């Protein structure tokens, strides 16, 4: 279920809920409304109110079940989108790698083309074509994938001319593939309802903010465990030496990603 479909369904539910609450409220106060008091419409509203009250549990249960089913469909749809997006990323990487090969073989070209073709066809497991009917094919929902295919087809080794021309063509095809991918990414990810991270790291060249070390109780626990193990027989002394000695040497040594342990 797409985001727009979910929103339309929720709007219908809200409208129905407001209508039911409005009818219930009007029925409840019908005997206080001069035009309704004592009329046949008042009796009808009272009967409707009693019916809604008797059926309230069933209505609520059905509404909750319907809403739950909608969100389950939405969750399954989003999982399908995520899987398709992972496939698109893998395909983009395969295309980029292919444009780096100076003299690709026909087998490499066919393998890359088939990977892209599978990605294009797999989109139909998520979306139908836009404007598709029983008589019309419609439009492919994300055209940049076909732009990437056309760019790849210009690098078919069976149509190679010379090394200099191929280098220029590979650079042009690579730029076309990347431009198409970025255009696709900008639109496709909107379908996933992504949110901003709660604690983003927005600076380049970021480093760890925490310093090496731990609280005293953790170090004392570590020391107790070490003493307890040292009292036991060492079945593999060489293995123990291979792990403990590098550890003792590594901890006091500062690294670009952490300071030296105290």
Kindly report, residue by residue over 108-119, the tens digit of the pLDDT: 999 999 999 999
More confident residue, 20 or 223: 223
Backbone phi, then psi, for 32, in 5-degree steps?
-100, 0
User: CA–CA separation, 57 vs 64, rounded Å?
Assistant: 11
Is 70 exceeded by the pLDDT of residue 160?
no
> Which residues contact residue 242 at a Cβ distance below 8 angstroms, ignoring those fewer than 6 apart?
none
Is 70 exceeded by the pLDDT of residue 178?
yes
User: CA–CA separation, 207 vs 256, rounded Å?
Assistant: 9
Are 13 and 83 in the same domain?
Answer: no
Let me know if residue 246 belongs to a domain: no
Residue 38 region by backbone torsions, left for phi larger than 0, else alpha for psi between -120 and 50, else beta: left
Residues 40, 104 contacting (CB under 8 angstroms): no
User: CA–CA separation, 188 vs 92, rounded Å?
Assistant: 14
Question: 139 pairs with which residues across the strands?
Answer: 130
DSSP state of 159: G
More confident residue, 115 or 20: 115
DSSP letters of 162-188? -HHHHHHHHHHHHHHHHHHHHHHHHHH
- What is the mean predicted confidence (pLDDT) over 104-109? 93
- What is the mean predicted confidence (pLDDT) over 249-261? 77
Are 141 and 185 in the same domain?
Answer: yes
Are 87 and 137 in the same domain?
Answer: yes
Per-residue confidence (pLDDT) for residue 59, from 0 to 100 = 79
Which of 169, 192, 215 is at the close of a domain?
192
Is 70 exceeded by the pLDDT of residue 102?
yes
Let me know if residue 234 belongs to a domain: no
Is 70 exceeded by the pLDDT of residue 168?
yes
Are 104 and 181 in the same domain?
Answer: yes
Residue ranges making up the domain that contains 13: 1-54
Are 83 and 187 in the same domain?
Answer: yes
Let me know if residue 38 belongs to a domain: yes
């Amino acid at each position: 279920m797409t985001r727009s479909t979910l929103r339309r369904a929720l709007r219908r539910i809200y409208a129905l809920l407001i209508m039911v609450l409005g009818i219930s409220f009007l029925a409840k106060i019908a005997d206080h409304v001069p035009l309704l008091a004592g009329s046949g419409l008042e009796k009808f509203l009272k009967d409707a109110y009693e019916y809604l009250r008797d059926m309230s549990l069933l209505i609520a249960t059905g509404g909750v079940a319907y809403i739950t089913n909608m969100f389950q469909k939405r969750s399954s749809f989003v999982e399908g989108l995520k899987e398709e997006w992972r496939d698109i990323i893998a395909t983009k990487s395969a295309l980029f790698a292919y444009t780096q090969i100076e003299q690709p073989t026909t087998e490499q070209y066919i393998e890359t083309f088939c990977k892209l073709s599978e990605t294009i066809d797999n989109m139909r497991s998520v979306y139908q074509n836009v404007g598709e009917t029983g008589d019309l094919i419609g439009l492919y929902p994300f055209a940049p994938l076909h732009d990437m295919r056309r760019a790849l087809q210009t690098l078919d080794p069976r149509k190679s001319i010379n090394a200099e021309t191929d280098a220029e063509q590979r650079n042009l095809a690579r730029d076309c593939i990347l431009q198409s991918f970025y255009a696709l990414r900008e639109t496709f990810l909107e379908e996933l309802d992504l949110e901003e991270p709660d604690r983003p790291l927005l600076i380049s060249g970021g480093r760890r903010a925490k310093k090496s070390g731990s609280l005293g109780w953790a170090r004392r626990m570590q020391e107790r465990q070490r003493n307890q193990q040292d009292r036991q027989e060492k079945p593999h002394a060489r293995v123990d030496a291979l792990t403990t000695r590098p550890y003792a040497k590594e901890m006091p040594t500062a690294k670009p990603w952490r300071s030296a342990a105290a």
